[in-house]
Amino acid sequence: MGQIKVEKCIKNGKTIEGLYIIEPTVHRDDRGYFVETYNQRDFEEAGLNMVFVQDNQSCSVKGVLRGLHYQKQYPQGKLVRVLKGRVFDVAVDLRTGSDTYGMWYGIELTEENKKQFYISEGFAHGFLVLSDIAEFAYKVTDFYHPGDEGGLIWNDSEIGIEWPVEDGMELIFSDKDTKWGGLSETFRFQ
């Protein structure tokens, strides 16, 4: 029943290997809709052979900016989507030797567009909530290891992420997300 459309992420004419936009087929009728959010066979047929070990979900209010996070020794690939609301989701390439090291890619994920974003191991990840509330779900390829956390400051000028902060929007951060360093100070994946 599934079938997905997979698109590589291109920025400034460069393909950022390891990032994919995934659009599942949405079956709509007068009752509502049905969508397969993950089908291992469909993913494998599209060349996406990751194995997920954990599912996570968060709920945040407008203006919350979570990230940019990664795990150093136990990196996680993440398949992210929005169940309710809208977010601007971002990945930053931290892979040493990558042609796109330090480059970021952002996409708006909404409950209406049902798009998913796959972020491979070796990227920092974060998102900004654009709606009054957002429920965010993601599958990961490794377990969470609390002592292995790393981060990148959200507004590093060297990276230059263009966050869609609306006029009058108050940004809300966790304490740790205000203390991360910039690209030149952060961990690099080998």
Question: Active-site positions?
Answer: 69, 138
Cα–Cα distance between 79 and 81 in angstroms, integer? 7
Q: Which two tokens stand for residue 118?
A: 């796959």
Please, are residues 6 and 46 in contact by the beta-carbon 8 Å criterion? yes
Cα 8 to Cα 39, 52, 111, 149, 153: the distances in Å are 19, 20, 21, 27, 25
Cα–Cα distance between 108 and 129 in angstroms, integer? 10
- Which has the closest alpha carbon to 187: 140, 122, 103? 122
**Per-residue b/e over 10-46, b at no fewer than 16 CB within 10 Å?**
eeeeeebebbbbbebeeeeeeeeeeeeebeeebbeee
Cα 66 to Cα 134, 180, 190: the distances in Å are 12, 12, 25
